[in-house]
Amino acid sequence: MSGEPEGDESGRRRRAFVFGLRAEAAAAIYLRLKGYRILARRFAIRGGEIDIVALRGDTVAFVEVKGREDFETAAGAIGAVKRRRVARAVRVWLTRNPWAMAATLRGDAVYVRRWRLPRHAPDAYRLELD
């Protein structure tokens, strides 16, 4: 019992989707302010997605954005299944951008919480590219 009427499941999902889009936009702005160049947003393939691909110096960061009520919950939300899905998308992105193979590749996260500055976690998860 969530406290919401039974028919409001689609409304809850829509609000979560909109919050996720806003979290990704906030993360992209935050990364730009930190000196990153955004190369792609919402890069999706069948079976995987990368929220943000960002470049700073010789590092390409594949950024997972997690918007949650608290940072600890957000940090725990990048599990094994999510990492595999991101890895699939990263492999495709790299085949389309072969220049990036010479760069340092990193799995970052940006955690977003309402009314707080986002928190960037460089090298938050291992890119499972093998």
Q: What is the pLDDT of residue 14?
A: 87
pLDDT in tens, 48-104: 999 999 999 999 999 999 887 766 666 677 888 989 999 999 999 999 999 999 999
The domain tally of the chain equals 1
Domain annotation covers residue 1: no
The pTM is what? 0.86
Determine contact, residues 20/67, Cβ cutoff 8 Å: yes
- Print the domain residue range for 32: 6-125
Domain annotation covers residue 12: yes
* CATH number of the domain residue 40 falls in: 3.40.1350.10
Domain annotation covers residue 53: yes
Task: State the Cα–Cα distance between residues 106 and 125, nearest whole angstrom.
Answer: 8
Domain annotation covers residue 130: no
Domain annotation covers residue 100: yes
What is the CB neighbour count within 10 angstroms for residue 125?
A: 20
